[in-house]
Structure 1
């Protein structure tokens, strides 16, 4: 098909459609739906542009770990700019009016960008898993070139996954759906290849990695709390009472141990000599009782001090528990948003393309498609809102700190 002839025809089609659009009044539900989808596309564009700008202009965010976040924002921005507007027009017209060439380009961008967005989430999970389980070694390998290579791998895999279904649709010669822009094929191999590569394998990888990330973070918190407990124990047992043990007899973890409380002099409890008078024995007995009271009061003060230190020490696990809950809630948001947005769409794809008698309405197909698009709006919020550096950068950009 000649591109210039097609362009002229497309403009003619659009002008005639526009004339008919003016004469036919749209229902209120269609208008509200169009406004809602347009707001989603606008917000997706705004937030992803905000993330990209924040990383570009903030020196503190120039870190290889944020390059994947920036690439994810670019991918979601492409979804908002190149995919969502055409989908809104498609839903509004209830048929494809922009020709076969634009349909092929739109489907290519749609499948490639959505697949790339999903694979970015899997790559971010891999990056975070390596950073928390092999922090010292991976910090040396976590360079800008390595992050760029990871981004290139994600885009390459996205193209390889999205290309075969498009090629099959291009050569199928299906004439029943000439006024629609969809991919229809009834081969199990294409369905499994596209759905497994674009969603199910990344989903399994994300679930496994984030579970390991949570367990590794939990282990790190427990080790830190155990280390703090050991230091507090050493301070309580080693610094409150001076030690009289030599260095060789000290405890391996806490240093010199404090000796047992020294009892009053043995002479005080020895049998009185025959030379002592009763008055002397009475004075000696009073001194012994006084020394016992002093010793008991000192021992009571030391015990109360150690109890207070132990009570402060038990605040550590509560702090650790709050951190674990925060980490678990963050991971839950990431996984939950991803599953809720994309799982229904890919379940529908498997059912419709493998069951000849199964079908869905256009309204349900559009709803599930836009539910997946919604993930491009949620991604920049989830992956940046819990980072203080991003929040400060956003405040400086929008100059509205009391809203963030």
Structure 2
């Protein structure tokens, strides 16, 4: 184990070789640094066991962030239900979180274990710039997703036409350009970085007060305000729609009950009876008219052709009715009566058959109206359920985002203005990594609370089973 200190100016420090006292650039004296020899010949700022544990935990977080966000990106492009234009916001968020894991976190792991920056001033500047840019892009993408969800819920018809691929890509480009505008000023001179740089010189974000206010507002506080307002509006709009849906559901239930009672009333209504009675009366009148016409015709014929009639012809005319009334049981009479009864029955059946399609059409129309109402109700229920789940997911993402990043940005703003605030290195590292963990949690939130992402992840990972 080797121990050393430094003089009061970090910018003039040489690599660790003498015993001095660390003093922070803000004037905070830091605790004595004790460096520990390691089996690989590199001095660590923490004991070897702590360095190994830190490396394992932080490496797992990095791997989880990389794998999770790659799965999100692949899911959107390979799983058809997710291949919709609004999910490009999620792809942009995943890209931002992925760049944090690839370009920022590995250097932070090394810096935390070594306790010094060994990669030179240029890499330090680029690392800090990427840190601010990627974390800001991640936060601003969350803000863009919240706005997109807000417009989709509050103005669904108009926004569905406006939400084109061109518009979404334009918004994503705006997110990244704004992130670069927030992260690049230190490269142009708006910083308090030292002119000379050694391995023991701290590589840290500038504490220049003007830039701290500018970057914290653009990276966190303004997006936080926008997301809070938007989420409250989404909550109110969703709650209002659910109440309207509940009222519409009660109305649909009342309409269906009325329609069902109407259908039952048709089955016992006098429609069929009136129709049959009307048909019978019509048939009876028609039969009487037919008999009268036939009788008149027969009489006329009998008067004109009396000397030419035969007994057989008389039997078929009106004389038969006069002279054969008592012959109802004769075979010919039974045949004629049976034929007339069959003819009347056929006419009654034809009337009923003609009326049956009308009743069937009415009943089918009523049933179809009920089915249409049920279909619309089900579609609305599914749509509202999806919107409710999306709003809940957005709320969870926002809640996790606040928990992860608020401590860091409070510390980031307070320290440059508080000369007596001197947090320990371990506390600073913990708060910083709490912000970084947000990049690993977003894919997990999607997996837990979004059924389509869950299915896509299982498909990509070749995991079988129900969802």
TM-score (norm 2): 0.62
Aligned match for 2:178, one of 151, 157, 164: 157
> 2 CA distance for matches of 1:99 and 1:181?
9
CA deviations on 1:12-47 (whole Å, 9 max, x unpaired) are: xxxxx9962299994312211111000000010000
1:183 aligns with 2:205: yes
> 2 CA distance for matches of 1:402 and 1:94?
47
Q: Residue 265 of structure 1 aligns with which residue?
A: none
Bigger CA radius of gyration: 2
Alpha carbon RMSD of aligned pairs, Å? 3.2
Counterparts of 1:136-285 in structure 2, within 5 Å, are 136-168=157-189, 172-173=193-194, 179-187=201-209, 189-240=210-261
**3-state SS of the aligned residue for 1:185?**
coil
CA deviations on 1:155-187 (whole Å, 9 max, x unpaired) are: 011011112244346675355985211123342
| Structure 2: runs of 5+ lacking an equivalent | 1-37, 266-377
Q: Residue 137 of structure 2 aligns with which residue?
A: 116
How many Å apart are 1:225 and its aligned residue? 1.8
Aligned match for 1:390, one of 446, 449, 453: 453
Q: Quick one: structure 1 residues 343 and 353, their matched pair in 2 at CA, closer, same or farther if it must change by over 3 Å?
A: same
Aligned residue pairs, count:
316
Q: Residue 330 of structure 1 aligns with which residue?
A: 393
Q: Residue 407 of structure 2 aligns with which residue?
A: 344
Q: Residue 14 of structure 1 aligns with which residue?
A: none
Counterparts of 1:98-113 in structure 2, within 5 Å, are 98-113=119-134
Counterparts of 1:30-179 in structure 2, within 5 Å, are 30-168=51-189, 172-173=193-194, 179=201
How many Å apart are 1:150 and its aligned residue? 0.8
Q: Quick one: structure 1 residues 208 and 115, their matched pair in 2 at CA, closer, same or farther if it must change by over 3 Å?
A: same
> 2 CA distance for matches of 1:361 and 1:206?
32
TM-score (norm 1): 0.71
> 2 CA distance for matches of 1:154 and 1:147?
11
**3-state SS of the aligned residue for 2:131?**
helix
Kindly indicate whether the alpha-carbon contact (under 8 Å) linking 1:186 and 1:354 is maintained by their aligned counterparts in 2: no
Kindly indicate whether the alpha-carbon contact (under 8 Å) linking 1:162 and 1:194 is maintained by their aligned counterparts in 2: yes
Q: Residue 358 of structure 1 aligns with which residue?
A: 421
**3-state SS of the aligned residue for 2:41?**
helix
Q: Quick one: structure 1 residues 328 and 19, their matched pair in 2 at CA, closer, same or farther if it must change by over 3 Å?
A: closer
Q: Quick one: structure 1 residues 24 and 202, their matched pair in 2 at CA, closer, same or farther if it must change by over 3 Å?
A: closer
> 2 CA distance for matches of 1:85 and 1:229?
58
> 2 CA distance for matches of 1:195 and 1:24?
30
CA deviations on 1:356-384 (whole Å, 9 max, x unpaired) are: 22222211111111100000001122245
CA deviations on 1:372-398 (whole Å, 9 max, x unpaired) are: 000000112224542222222111110
> 2 CA distance for matches of 1:61 and 1:198?
28
Kindly indicate whether the alpha-carbon contact (under 8 Å) linking 1:132 and 1:216 is maintained by their aligned counterparts in 2: yes
CA deviations on 1:44-68 (whole Å, 9 max, x unpaired) are: 0000011111112223322111101
> 2 CA distance for matches of 1:96 and 1:403?
49
**3-state SS of the aligned residue for 2:42?**
helix
Kindly indicate whether the alpha-carbon contact (under 8 Å) linking 2:46 and 2:113 is maintained by their aligned counterparts in 1: no
